Amino acid sequence: VPKVSDEHLTARREQILEGARRAFAKHGYESATVARLEEEIGLSRGAIFHYFPDKWSLFFELAVRDQTRWNTLIIERGIDDLARTIYAENPDWLGVYLELARHIRTHPELAEQLEQRMTEEELPSGKARLRELQEEGALRDDVPLDKLAEFVNVVLNGIVAQYASGTELDVESVLKLVHEGLDPRAK
Amino acid sequence: VPKVSDEHLTARREQILEGARRAFAKHGYESATVARLEEEIGLSRGAIFHYFPDKWSLFFELAVRDQTRWNTLIIERGIDDLARTIYAENPDWLGVYLELARHIRTHPELAEQLEQRMTEEELPSGKARLRELQEEGALRDDVPLDKLAEFVNVVLNGIVAQYASGTELDVESVLKLVHEGLDPRAK
């Protein structure tokens, strides 16, 4: 029996995840049936579910990737670059997050699962970066950091929601107003 | 044959719309089957679709009502009261809007249909109210009004998206930061 190399396993996982992302974006999460996943991934259900126990796990891994990428981006480059990156994503894929809002809210253990996994990834701390910015004088210090983070999250979620529903948006002018809420030097 | 009174017709339409709202909130738009609509409304499919041609029309009428109410509220009472009102809605119902994002984006004629209907409703003009506020000095005048409106929409959509997915939110502290983006007197 030939030994399946790690490289091969990694390539397979990649193929499955990227096919699943296409299937979710194209049909929506609910309507991405096993047959449609097979078609988009190009593997049988047996092969797919050998690597991932169920449809949720496929979405979960994709969400971990996005969160990791977006988290790194906002820390290294700031909210403007993250907002522009999100606005350049496929709106069909962003819509999958909106579609899953109810599912996540009614299954709080799934949100916890994601949070725990993100902790394990040992990403640079967003809060530490905010504190740095505050110390540099680039962030106001009269509002608690977690409230500033909450405001930023609301804005980013709003950009996702408008973009996914097809409303045109001038991201730059939104960002200008966001900075006036965040930055004591902006006005 | 007894004449069906207008009053009766109005009551029936109300019963149907409020039952449909419950069914959409409970099951989601996609999963609100005709059988579930019948159950929640308490009328047969024949009766329901005598008043409304299809499932979309039910959602459309409910959306017109929300938009009318929210539009009046933001004009008469301002963004703070609207944000608080949205945050007091049923998150299941708000989630229906998110769930329909893809459907609306891929059917631009539906967004147009809603916009045209809102025009017919002859609501007070949001833009005129913004201009008033600007003249009173309560809104900055160095950014075009439609950009300010866009920013407000992003924030409101963000509140909907976070709330519908179960993330806790301190609406008051978000509003404080929003005002610093909008109001020259806020800082």
Q: Which residue has the tokens 């299809």?
A: B54
Q: Is A11 on the interface with B (CB under 8 A)?
A: no
Report which DSSP code applies to A5: P
Residues of A in contact with B173 (CB under 8 A): 143, 147, 150-151
Q: Is A90 on the interface with B (CB under 8 A)?
A: no
Percent of chain A with pLDDT over 70: 97
pLDDT in tens, A54-66: 999 999 999 999 9
Nearest-CB residue to A181 (from B30, B160, B177): B177
User: What's the pLDDT score for residue A187?
Assistant: 60
User: What's the pLDDT score for residue A151?
Assistant: 93
Nearest-CB residue to B165 (from A105, A148, A180): A105
Nearest-CB residue to B102 (from A28, A101, A157): A28
CB contact under 8 A, A162 and B153: yes
DSSP A26-84: HH-TTT--HHHHHHHHTS-HHHHHHHSSSHHHHHHHHHHHHHHHHHHHHHHH-HHHHHH
Higher pLDDT, A15 or A128: A15
CB contact under 8 A, A169 and B181: no
Crossing angle of the two packed helices B55-77 and B34-41, in degrees rounded to 10 = 60
Whether A145 and B126 have beta carbons less than 8 Å apart is answered as no
Extract the tokens encoding B42: 């308490």
Whether B112 and B120 have beta carbons less than 8 Å apart is answered as no
Report the residue of B27, B94, B102 to disrupt the A interface, i.e. the one with the largest count of A CBs within 10 Å. Answer: B102
Residues 6+ apart with CB under 8 A from A174: A83, A155, A159, B147, B150, B151, B154
CB contact under 8 A, B170 and A150: yes
Residues of A in contact with B176 (CB under 8 A): 143
Extract the tokens encoding B135: 């003249």
Global model pTM greater than 0.80: yes
Distance (Å) from the alpha carbon of A44 to chain B's nearest alpha carbon: 27
Distance (Å) from the alpha carbon of B27 to chain A's nearest alpha carbon: 10
CA distance readout (Å), B147 to A6, A174, A183: 51, 7, 19
Extract the tokens encoding B156: 């409101």
Q: Is B37 exposed, middle or buried (0-12, 13-18, 19+ CB in 10 A)?
A: buried
Q: Within 10 Å of residue B99's Cβ, how many Cβ atoms?
A: 23
Q: Is A79 on the interface with B (CB under 8 A)?
A: no
Nearest-CB residue to A173 (from B150, B174, B177): B150
**In 3D, which of A91, A103, A92, A31 has the Cα closest to residue A60?**
A103
Q: Is B180 on the interface with A (CB under 8 A)?
A: yes
Write out B97-146 in H/E/C secondary structure. HHHCHHHHHHCHHHHHHHHHHHHHCCCCCHHHHHHHHHHCCCCCCCCCHH
Q: Within 10 Å of residue A64's Cβ, how many Cβ atoms?
A: 16
Is a pLDDT exceeding 70 seen at residue A29? yes
Residues 6+ apart with CB under 8 A from B146: B127
By CA distance, what is A143's nearest residue in B?
A: B173
User: What's the pLDDT score for residue A2?
Assistant: 60
User: What's the pLDDT score for residue A26?
Assistant: 95
| Distance of alpha carbon A70 from alpha carbon A82, whole angstroms | 6
CB contact under 8 A, A160 and B161: yes
User: What's the pLDDT score for residue B109?
Assistant: 92
Mean pLDDT of residues grouped by 10 in chain B (187 residues)? 79 96 95 97 96 96 93 91 93 93 89 88 81 87 90 94 90 91 74
Q: Is A125 on the interface with B (CB under 8 A)?
A: no
pLDDT in tens, A117-159: 988 888 777 888 888 888 888 888 888 998 999 999 999 999 9
Identity of the amino acid at A17? L
Residues of B in contact with A31 (CB under 8 A): 30
A166 Ramachandran zone, left/alpha/beta (phi>0; psi -120 to 50):
left
